[in-house]
Amino acid sequence: MGKIGVFDSGIGGLTVLDELYEVLPKEDFIFYADSIHNPYGEKSDEELYQITSDIVEYLIERDCHIIVIACNTATTRCIQYLREHFPEVVFIGTEPAVKVACDGNYKNTLVMATPATIQSERLQLLIHDNQKENNHFYLAPCYGLANAIEDGDTKKQNEIIYNLYEEYKENNIDSIVLGCTHYPHISELISSYFKDAVLLDGAMGVARETKRQMELHNLITNQGTGNVEIIKTK
């Protein structure tokens, strides 16, 4: 009986796991929180290829035939490499909810993400392919925020969000794309500064796409117990 593998550079991916469990309650999951290598955004491509390949090999050994990359950075930088090197596995990536922002006709959208995601070609393509005439995007590389969330450093979290607010408070931000799976963990803090902005994340979209791909590849079992095994490397 196959399981669904999910991994992230730490606890951030738990926000995706929650939605996956909601959509697929009769499947079994293995969640791999790779905290020891957090943050991914500061690693070279070669380092990330090795790190993510090791995780994928472990999840394959644990009978995972579909793997959700619950990390925007790992998706933007590694998913193509992993698909080429593990063609027997179905990979589902996570990407910033730019399309949701565009479909919602928000005028001024702040995209919060790791520097690696902000600089990625994938994000630029997402904006290019979905942006409408009245959509304005502001890209904010949130240096150190994912790490501060992983470490539970509330002082650092507040400092980063305060500085972000000071930088963009005159831009009439009406929506914020949480472009890292760690960020929903501090949604209340973000909303306390950006009181008029709707927070958008892609976790539910990832869960729905996972279910669709599982149906497409006949991977739905409906025979699991809904068991969730969490492995944390630090």
Q: Is 8 helix (H, G, I), strand (E, B) or coil?
A: strand
Q: Bridge partners of 198?
A: 175
Distance CA 204, CA 57 (A): 26
Annotated catalytic residues are: 71, 180
Q: How many CA atoms lie within 13 A of 172 on its CB side?
A: 5
- Whether residue 197 contacts residue 205, with contact meaning beta carbons closer than 8 Å, is answered with no
The amino acid that residue 18 corresponds to is D
CA 59 to chain centre: 19
Distance CA 70, CA 33 (A): 10
* Alpha-carbon distance values, 44 to 47, 95, 119 (Å): 5, 19, 14
Q: Which of 60, 12, 28, 32 is nearest to 230 (CA)?
A: 32
- The torsion angles phi and psi of 109, rounded to 5 degrees, stand at -110, 125
- The torsion angles phi and psi of 142, rounded to 5 degrees, stand at -90, 80
